[in-house]
Chain A
Amino acid sequence: MFDTLLQNLINAMQWGSFYSLIALGYTLVYGVLLLINFAHGDIVMVGSYIAFFVATLFLGHYDLFPVALPGPLVLALTVPLTMILTALVGVTLERIAYRPLRRKGAHRLYVVITALMCGLILENGNLALLGASRKKFPELVDKVIYTAGGVSVTNLKIAVILTAVLVFVGLHLIVTKTRMGMAMRAISYDKFAVPLMGIPIDTVIVFTFVLGSSMAGLAGILFALSYPILDPYMGLSIGWKAFIAAVVGGIGDIRGAFAGGFILGFVEIMVVAFFPSTYRDLFAFTILLIILTLRPTGLFGVPKTTKV
């Protein structure tokens, strides 16, 4: 009994790590722009596909690069390349879709709708370009299973959890300790005064999108390594759920996104462990609804006082 609990806890940590990584991207963009970037889940999907093509390229599947490199080296090349390319996708979305709207001072919900539409284009564009056949992500690193007592952990799980923690610490340091992070916080505090202080607002926003989207790319790689079947709609449900996780933590707060992701992962895995799996969403969302009703601004969110 204790073993199963511990095993489920580790599974929950892995599942929560994905939610955390994606929620961090949501919360970064939201914290700076107050924009719910609903395309973020689909950027994760794009990240997985980019990782797939980069990995198969270096494995010598195409004529362009006929040499097959060893798996670990391929992984070492795939991670940075995927992050850069995914960041490019995110920045492109910002330039083409969001920035013109921001310049025009459109109502922020119209920007949200635009983000939703960008997500639809990414999904269905992928489906139209690559067809409905699912892609199988190649296995790059041999699986190692460590067993202690009745609990088994794979090297992949450890890597996923470690990455999530490292990314969280890194982002936290960037936002709280660097000049760029200070500028990001400043924009979310008062976006009208910041340009007057000589802070290049567009550069900061592009930087935010680079950070958020490269985290999405990273999440995409890890997701593809853990669940190797890729399909164009994979980002949809995990994206919406990660957004919910970010809000439960208190959207705009990095600690909140991290904690929210793990809470959601934990609830989902524990429900599946004890109930039929169709109850997963029912329980998970009911619990989230209760948390938000009790703490209306999320776990780490600070209640805003409204002055008249």
Chain B
Amino acid sequence: MTVPVLRVRDLVKEYGEGDAKVRALRGVSLDVHKGDYVAIMGASGSGKSTLMNILGCLDIPTSGSYQIDGADVGRLNEHQLALLRNRRVGFVFQSFNLIPRMSALANVELPLVYGGVRQAERRARALAALEQVGLAERVHHEPNQLSGGQQQRVAVARALVTAPALLLADEPTGNLDTASTDDVLRILDGLSAAGRTIVLITHEDDVAAHAKRVVRLVDGQIVEDRRQAPPDGPPPRLAEAAR
């Protein structure tokens, strides 16, 4: 078997000191292979957001090891971490987190700017990414001129534009209405069918039904790891639709 995109071993994260100490993660181990589409489920307080932040290199685990594409994240310095966040990981947040007063296009271009991509290529790639999420005619709108669903699609485009090895989505549909949720999930299904590796967090079964594999977290530990479709095939909903 090839090197997994994501390899997590005995991940522990503790917050606070002494009596106030909270163990958010109590030894999580997980492998995600290329092309897989994993939904991490759990009630609030189950540690799923903490896990996500660590996977996105935004937070540092208390102990345990974590590899992306074979690179040990714990050994990277600040600069290398920034490079990793830029090149290997695309992050979609629950609250969109677009930069205000910047057009959709500029927001999508931003990771490429930090990646040192030239202006012309940057523009072409950003436009292609926006096209992919169906926002080709809204590229010059600023975030406050877009609906929530559109903003989240811009955020997905921004996460995609660097062609990362791993797409992380932290409750991407948590703040969206049903129609927008469907839009975003359809895009994620499409990406999965195209071979992207996706890890998303949700507490909704409807959302988890889109994934090829569902991991359930309770009190910082994995209690269930269920496969719904093979990692190298299409995601279950698309497969159903094709049938």
Pairing of A with B = no
Interface residue ranges, B against A (CB under 8 Å): none
Binding site for B on A (CB under 8 A): none
